[in-house]
Amino acid sequence: MLTQPAVAALLGILVGALMLFATYRGSRMVTPDYPELGAARAVALVGAGLVLAFGSLMLYYYFARAGLVAFGLGLVVGFVVPAFVALFTISGITRPSSRGGR
């Protein structure tokens, strides 16, 4: 069942979403009161998400190699695409210019 492309892709999206959630929660831990502690926690959560992704890719490689490509694509779609959308939204690139078209 794990070798089915749809199942593998959905599991990849789920793991990618978990990584994105860990990154988001880590960024919220940085506060003006204790910036060093918050940054250390954020780095730990991002590192844990990367270990989760690497471990899940290794498990797929060893146990369900036929679904590895679909799982990897789902992982990218579940993490990178929402991360870029959030990045562009936060940065203001997608907002219209206030200069009146100049």
How high is the pLDDT of residue 31? 85
How high is the pLDDT of residue 97? 62
Rg (CA), the chain: 17
Kindly report the number of other CB atoms within 10 A of residue 52's CB atom: 14
How high is the pLDDT of residue 101? 53
**Whole-model pTM?**
0.78
Closest by CA position to 16, among listed 93, 84, 88: 84
- Cα(38)–Cα(18) distance, integer angstroms: 20
Q: Which amino acid would we find at residue 79?
A: F
Question: pLDDT of 24-78, one tens digit each?
Answer: 888 888 888 888 888 888 888 888 888 988 999 999 999 999 999 999 999 999 9
Closest by CA position to 76, among listed 47, 94, 56: 56
Kindly report the number of other CB atoms within 10 A of residue 75's CB atom: 24
